[in-house]
Amino acid sequence: VSIDNKEGALQLNQYKLLDNIGQGSYGIVKLVYNEEDETHYAMKILSKKKLMKKAGVFGRMIPGKKGSANPLAKVYREIALLKKLDHPNVVKLVEVLDDPDEDNLYLVFELVHRGEILQVPTDKPLDEETARKNFRDIVMGVEYLHYQRIVHRDIKPSNLLVDSDGRIKIADLGVSTELRACGELLSGPTGTPAFAAPETTMPGVHYSGTLCDIWSMGVTLYCLVTGRIPWDGTGSIIGVQAAIRNEPLKFPEKPVISKDLRDLISRMLNKNPLERITLSEIKEHIWLTN
């Protein structure tokens, strides 16, 4: 990876780095311009040191030594898997730039032109017709990920990107933390507290990752049509988790939410994962089919 400073803009190989377009716990996402194919992309910049800490291994990375228990091997395997994912409602990883001697890892994704679906909180939530169109895309994308044995574990509006023809692509496929293979039971809190299922907040409780994604989709759908999160427990993480576990779901007076949509959201936000609506049941729900 050659880094140089052509006329003040940072250049990585054939990519000219432009504005910051995304920011999160994972790092940053920059708009980049590929001079070879004259196309813009989104480049997510990850720190290997941070990844290693998250992968639970400390100390120095052994650069390129064969067969070494290279702590980033897991991350590289995950990236290789993500490169194979191909679905219209999932962001497309096109290239990974990695210089063994450098701390940064650069993931190049196809640019999803209109960016995040909605900032929360907002006083301009989506109308139900738009939310229905968008949610159909989200359901298809999540169904594909679950089929590929990937549990997202951090579904929320900021990870839902809108492309130029209004279609939704799911982002943050988990490479910034350990791979999510569903089927295996998971434990421990992950993702964003306000969007995390109650069962993930109980210490030592093992839970099914796919059912947690359904919960997060429910919180996300609630956000899309109300502009707010359902439980905000005075802002502290413990407060949010307690509210999610104990407080009943309430809908605001305004905007008015249809009976069918309230029914669907309530079934996705069932605090008991075993009673929660499943993906195939969601696909048959009257709010999505009528």
Ligand X SMILES: COc1ccc(C(=O)/C=C\Nc2cc(OC)c(C(=O)O)cc2Cl)cc1
Residues annotated as catalytic are 154
Smallest distance from the beta carbon of 271 to ligand X, in angstroms? Answer: 28
User: Which residue number, 115 or 189, has a Cβ lying nearer to ligand X?
Assistant: 115
Residue 173 contacts ligand X per CB under 6 A = yes
Reference 28, options 193, 176, 163, 157; nearest CA is 176
User: Could you identify the residue written with the tokens 């048959």?
Assistant: 284
- Shortest CB 29 distance to ligand X, Å: 4
Q: Which residue, 28 or 286, is less far from ligand X as judged by CB?
A: 28
Rounded CA-CA distance 200/206 in Å is: 8
3-state secondary structure of 132: helix
Our measurement of the distance from residue 57's CA atom to the centroid of its chain's CA atoms, rounded to an integer in Å, reads 24
- Who contacts 129 (Cβ-Cβ below 8 Å, separation ≥6)? none
Contact string (CB under 6 A) for ligand X, positions 16-35, x = contact: -----xx-x-x--x------
Q: Which of 110, 119, 196 is nearest to 151 (CA)?
A: 196
Near ligand X by CB under 6 A: residue from 81, 139, 150, 161: 161
162 Ramachandran zone, left/alpha/beta (phi>0; psi -120 to 50) = beta
Supply the minimum distance, in Å, between the C-beta of residue 110 and ligand X. Answer: 7
Nearer to ligand X, 79 or 277 (CB): 79
CB closer to ligand X out of 72 and 175: 175
Q: What separation in angstroms does the CA of 269 have from each of 199, 202, 213, 264?
A: 12, 17, 11, 9
Minimum distance of ligand X from residue 112's CB (angstroms): 5
- Nearest distance in Å: CB 248, ligand X: 32
Residue of minimal Cβ distance to ligand X? 115
Return the residues of window 94-153 that contact ligand X according to CB under 6 A.
Answer: 109, 112-113, 115
Q: Closest Cα partner for 73 from 61, 85, 60, 84?
A: 61
Position 171 contacts ligand X (CB under 6 A) = yes
Kindly state the number of chain residues that form the binding site for ligand X, as judged by CB under 6 A. 17
What is the maximal distance between C-alpha atoms in the chain?
Answer: 61
Residue 257 lies near ligand X (rule: CB under 6 A): no
Binding site for ligand X (CB under 6 A): 21-22, 24, 26, 29, 42, 44, 91, 109, 112-113, 115, 161, 171-173, 175
